[in-house]
Structure 1
Amino acid sequence: MKRSLLASAPFAPSALVALVLAHAQTACAPAPSASAPTPAAPASPAADIEADKRTIAAELDDWHAAAAQANEARYFGHFAKDAIFLGTDAAEHWDVPAFRAFARPYFEKGKAWTFRATKRTIRLAPGGQSAWFDEDLETSSLGPSRGSGVLVREDGRWKITQYDLSIPIPNERLSELRALLEGPPKPRSKERYKEVYAKASALAESDLPGAAKLLADMVPEAKTHPDEDLEFWLHNELTWLHWAQDDLPGALAEVDAMRATLDHGTLSPDATATLRLHERWDRAYILLEMALTGPRDKRTKALAEANAARTSYETLAKARDDRDGLTALDTFFAVRLGKSKEALASAKKVDLTQRGDVQDLYIFQLAYEAGGDKQSANAARTQICRAKNYLMRPLILHRGAKEGWRC
């Protein structure tokens, strides 16, 4: 049964009269004109604000957890479409695609970074469609840090549209920091490596042991960066410096060091597989040289080891479609094993004008020489002599001089 509105109203009679009069006045009032200003959106009830704050805090906590768990899709799913991330370096002003490209190698390693909020303040804008926050962070890599940012409602969720990561500096330490920043920058490992590599390449023209020492002296520093490929390339270059000096056991030791670097490094699986191609190719090459120059009574076993290394390389090379490397190594084995016709046929598959790698050109000129094609052999040597000067070029020229040809 319906109850009477008047019977259920919790008002005193005088209040009821006033209410009825007020209602009548409102009903008779003229409608607002089209140009009248729109009233401001009413503030969200306190309960809604607190619920939004809890939701935002949970989103931010999950965002940080996704980084710690190296979950790339989940981490970047917390960003709004046009989000910006500001890092601690002045150059780190990224939109989402740029930030994702920077961060991907860290996620691929299985561990990105660990940030945990120890204190956080969240405020909502009127209308409840955006919010801003600041948080104190405990981090594994930066020490005590601070983050602040803005979130918006997008696709039914709170998403980060701007995040600014910073490292608070105590005021009393600012003068020290300024002096550090204004002083000469300490060269980073890769920057130093470029300088050392250039010096070693120039020195290798006249002093192979000196060039090797320059590069070997960088190995201890490179070992402190297992997330980079620097140590691998140093051992690779040292392999061929030993080879150019006819130190094949020393060359093989460097190949073993290349493999150990990959086994214990933290590079991405794809980068590791690419570098393993180089290590296996070098191993097969050096083992064949050792088999053919070593004791005759041990040659059968040594050749078996070289062929096993070659097969190991071929398996990975075919999986990654490394045709250039396969052709060069096939040609080299044919040359060294005295299969001159096979070597010549393999070399003729290659357009020398499209090859800039001087080691490949060296192998192909060996094949042409063995197969009696003097003109093509000379053409390959001319390309070696005209090649840009990087470390392998003087090493090949040293070997060429021993074999009776020069530029």
Structure 2
Amino acid sequence: MSLKEEVLEETGYWAKPSGVSSKPPRWIVHIDATREVPVARLAQDSSGMTPPAAMTPGYINNGSGKCALAAFRLMPAVKLGPASYKFPDEWEWIVQFAFARALPVGTSGDVLTDFNVQDSTLSYKGRETPKTAYPIAHISLIKTMAEPEPIQLASGELFSYEDATATLAAWLSDGNANFGVYSADSQEDMERLQYDLGSVFEAEADAEIEPAQNLEVLPAPDLFGVPPVVYKLINAALAAGKRHFVFHGPPGTGKTTLAEYVAEQIAGDDLSEGEAPYTLLTASSSWSSQDLVGGYQPLGPGKMGFVPGAMLRDFHKPIIIDELNRCPIDKVIGPLFSVLSGQSTSLPYRVKVEDATSENYRILPKPNPSKAEHEFAPGPAWAMLCTLNQVGHASIPDQGSPRGQQKLRLPSLYLELHARRGKSCG
């Protein structure tokens, strides 16, 4: 590739780093292909130190204070041996950093620097704000080349553009930000990228789920003792786009029956003939996230793989968790808290268990017809409804609340049901 600034194959970096420290024409990242499992990292000098300029992906024009998405061209320096790097011709990627909020007002040439992959942060100094590390909400690695020629390592093995992509992906995804790999020549990937970035900005606008259109839960004719205000609260939540509920109260107040009734209304008529309108599970103290979300399980002689749990198997319809207080809530539902609040989450399970660079499975918070094979997306009717027995209430761990006064908070609606003498439903 032709650049005005000279690069050195001895260092895998610019010949004059000081000349490109504020406005690098490319973000150079080292890929050590001499290891058994190649690794990517910020560029280092001969002493093993990272020059300050190597932590600077590039600069932005933020004079209007509206920048929430920055894109930079990434150029690799592939390590072939000691003091030997190669800059493969035409190998390049676009890296996008998305922030949940627009960065403070700056100028036409502001630097994004101090990239920290573990914390998923970039530092930025606004026009009237000090230099601050800002959390990155989503990192996109976009392949710009179809099938460029591979390079030959000192061992004689070939190292391809796809190998480098997998190595960069393993590095960039090792942090707090959501992450995705996309191909610029794939319409499906570009739609998925649009969805993923949209999720970042919609979450900031507090648009968790599209409001349920024309959905009103009328009082159940065969369920007595439920105060009218409960139905009003349910319908107000649905109208605002909320889909997840926790019903709590003493035994015999109709919590489960009400949850089943609400789930039927949310499910609608789009299910297969004869299919139950919801999935009903009774929580147990032996539960883990594997029961609800999934986990590694044996697939045959000497093989392991990810097997979806009960929720992901029926991700197209509501799920009811009865007696939620019986299970270790953080362990079981913890992996879902980001999804319930409108954010994507990556699971600690790889598509290819034996491959350290393999993509992890992800759960998306909203329906997405163009989701990737390693992603799970809910159907339009998915919702989580839980019941919580007030008698076993004190068994739920709570830090900061008096024992017995804990209230579990899912990001939607928490309703308390009390029995009315002679009218309650068991």
**TM-score normalised by structure 2 residue count:** 0.24
Greater percentage in strand: 2
Greater percentage in helix: 1
